[in-house]
Structure 1
Amino acid sequence: MTQLTSFGDAKLWPLYVFFGNQSKYKRAQPSAHLCSHAAYFQTASLPDNFKDFVLELSGGKLPSDPFFMHCHRELFQAQWQEILDDEFIRAYEHGIVLTCPDGIERRLFPRIFTYSADYPEKVLIANIRNLGACPCPRCIIPKDRVHNLAMERDTLQRQILARKDTKERRDKITAARRLIYEQHYVVDAPQVEVLLKEESLVPTKNAFSKRLGHTGFDFFDELVSDEDDSTDSDSNDLVGAMYYDSEDDQLEDGTEDFDSENYKF
Structure 2
Amino acid sequence: MWYQDPVECIWELLRNPMFQNVTKFAPEKLFEDKLGKREVVNKMWTADWWWKIQELLPLGATVVPVIISSDKTWLSQFQGDKSAWPVYLTIGNISKDIWHQASSRATILIRYLPVGKFDCFTEKAHQAMCYCTFHHCMSILTGSLVSAGTNGVNMTCPNGFVRWVWPILAAYVADYPEQCLVACCMENRCPICKVNPNHHGSHEAALPRETKETVVLLAMNETNSKDAKFKETYQEIGLRPIYLPFWACLPHCDTFQSFTPDLLHQLHKGVFKDHLVKWCTNLLTEKELDTRFKSMTPHQGIWHFKNGISSVSQWMGTEHKAMEKVFVGVVAGAINNKCVSQAARAVVNFILPYLQRRLHQAGGTPARSLQHSQNPLHGTLPHADQMTSWLHRQEAIDRFTWYLKWMREGGYEATEKIRSTALSASLHDTATAVVPAASHTPQPTMLSTNSHVPYQMASTIPAALCGIPVQKIIHNHNATQFIPAIQAFLNKHSSPITANPFDGFDLYKHITVCLPNIPQANANTHDHTPAEPPCLDFALIRTGEQNNKTNATALRGLRVAHVHVLFKLPEVYHLNTIHPLAYVEWYTPFGTLDAEMDMFVVKPSMQSHHVHGERAPSSKVWKKGEPRLDLTECC
Normalising by structure 1, we get a TM-score of 0.66
Residue number among 215, 223, 244 corresponding to 2:259 in the alignment: 223
Deviations 1:190-233 (CA, angstroms, capped at 9, x unpaired): 99964521101112125344321xx3322112112335352357
Q: After TM superposition, list the pairs within 5 Å mapping 1:249-264 onto structure 2.
A: 250=435
Tell me what 1:114 maps to. 171
Tell me how far 1:244 sits from its aligned partner.
6.3
Cα separation, partners in 2 of 1:206 and 1:125, compared to 1, 3 Å: farther
Go from structure 1 to structure 2 and tell me whether the alpha carbon gap of 1:202 and 1:219 turns closer, same or farther (over 3 Å shift). Answer: same
Deviations 1:141-183 (A, max 9, x none): 11221142xxxx34xx0xx5111112x3322221211119xx9
Task: After TM superposition, list the pairs within 5 Å mapping 1:189-208 onto structure 2.
Answer: 194-208=232-246
Aligned to 2:139, the other structure's residue is in SS state helix
Deviation at residue 78 of structure 1 after TM alignment: 0.5
Tell me the amino acid that sits aligned with residue 28 of structure 1.
Answer: H
- Does the 8 A contact of 1:106 with 1:244 survive in 2? no
Once the two structures are superposed, what CA deviation does each residue of 1:49-76 show, in whole Å capped at 9, x if it has no partner?
x433x4xxxxxxxx3x332211111011
Contact 2:215 2:244 in 1 (8 A): no
2:185 partner amino acid: I
Change over 3 Å in CA distance of 1:206–1:233 after alignment to 2: farther
Residue 156 of structure 2 is aligned to residue 99 of structure 1: yes
Q: Is 1:138 aligned to 2:192, yes or no?
A: yes
CA RMSD between the two structures: 3.2
Provide the residue aligned with 1:27 in structure 2.
Answer: 99
- The match for 1:177 is 222
Does 2:229 match 1:161?
Answer: no
Give the CA deviation at 1:250.
3.8
- How many percent of aligned residue pairs carry the same amino acid? 22
Say if 1:233 and 1:145 are closer, same or farther in 2 by CA, change over 3 A.
Answer: farther
User: Which residue of structure 2 aligns with residue 42 of structure 1?
Assistant: 114
- Contact 1:174–1:203 under 8 Å retained in 2: no
Instruction: Write the letter of the residue equivalent to 2:73.
Output: T
51 and 31 in structure 1: CA distance in 2 versus 1, 3 angstrom threshold: closer
Task: Report the Cα offset of residue 32 of structure 1.
Answer: 2.1
**Runs of 5+ consecutive residues of structure 1 not aligned to the other structure:** 55-62, 184-189, 237-242, 252-265
1:70-119 CA-to-partner distances (Å, cap 9, x unmatched) read: 1111011001111022x332222222212222222222121221101111
Q: Using a 3 Å threshold, how does the CA distance of structure 1 residues 141 and 233 change in structure 2: closer, same or farther?
A: farther
Per the alignment, in what secondary structure is the counterpart of residue 110 of structure 1? Answer: strand
CA distance in 1, matches of 2:81, 2:240: 28
SS of the residue corresponding to residue 376 of structure 2 reads coil
**1:4, 1:10 within 8 Å by CA — same for their partners in 2?**
yes
Q: Alpha-carbon deviation of 1:4?
A: 4.7
For 1:20, give the aligned amino acid. Answer: G
- The answer (yes or no) to whether the contact 1:16–1:39 under 8 Å persists in 2 is yes
Q: How many residue pairs end up in the alignment?
A: 207
TM-score (norm 2): 0.30
Distance in structure 2 (CA, Å) of the matches to 1:88 and 1:146: 34
Greater CA radius of gyration, 1 or 2?
A: 2
Aligned: 1:124 with 2:169: no
Q: Which of residues 116, 126, 130 in structure 2 aligns to 1:72?
A: 130
Q: Which residue of 2 is the match for residue 262 of structure 1? A: none
* Alignment check: 8 A CA contact 2:75 2:84 kept: yes
The match for 1:187 is none
Work out which structure has the larger RCO, using CA pairs closer than 8 Å and 6 or more positions apart in sequence.
1
- How far is 1:129 from its partner? 0.9
